[in-house]
Amino acid sequence: MSIEIANESGMDVAEPDLVSVARFAIGKMDVHPAAELSMVLVDLDTMADLHMRWMDLPGPTDVMSFPMDELEPGGRPDGAEPGPSMLGDIVLCPEFAAAQATKAGHSLDHELALLTVHGVLHLLGYDHAEPEEEKVMFGLQNRLLAEWYESLREAARRAEQAERDRRLLGKTGFTAPGDPLDPA
């Protein structure tokens, strides 16, 4: 999966986290692993211009999605095997997101992760214009975000355990066969 980020916002953000959460959400939605995604982070003026040009709404917003190919998660059972495709573009405005994060009482990193998942879902055809659509999309968004955070916690637990094992094995002088420190 190819995910490209261009940060034109002037703000320092955790770009690897945005790639990670986008990759996680795309994978969980059963999109072909060779799919491509572009993410652009922009300033308030650029986002306001895009918002007016594409949505005919004044002022900036937090996230906009521009789908490229018509995709359905999991594909159709009677359709051909899905192949790689360009999902589209997600445009994020970190400055706008920072104000939302402050208002919501959480970090900018969390807000940008949430908006990234939101943008991915829009690229996959989800919407929230109607109450039932909103319920489905926001439920899925919250579930994906919670699962991503759990995957990060699990990876950290495994890394901590591996480090404890390495220290313990180093103190005992034990080396496993094939270990570079094995004298055999």
pLDDT in the model for residue 141: 97
Confidence (pTM): 0.82
Task: Give just the sign of the alpha carbon dihedral 137, 142, 145, 147.
Answer: negative
pLDDT of amino acid 166: 86
Antiparallel, parallel or unpaired: β 36-41 and 86-92: parallel
Give the rounded distance of the alpha carbon of 129 from its chain centre.
Answer: 22
Give the model's pLDDT for residue 150.
97
Query: 37 pairs with which residues across the strands?
Result: 3, 88
pLDDT along the chain (184 residues), means of 10: 95 96 96 92 97 95 87 50 77 98 97 98 95 97 98 94 86 60 55
Is 51 marked within a binding site? no
Q: Is residue 106 part of an annotated ligand binding site?
A: no
Q: Is 128 annotated as a binding residue?
A: yes
Question: Which domains occur in the chain, in start order?
Answer: 2-70+83-170 (3.40.390.30)
What's the confidence (pLDDT) of residue 120? 97
- Which residues share a beta bridge with 86? 36
Question: Helix, strand or coil for residue 24?
Answer: helix
pLDDT of 64 reads 97
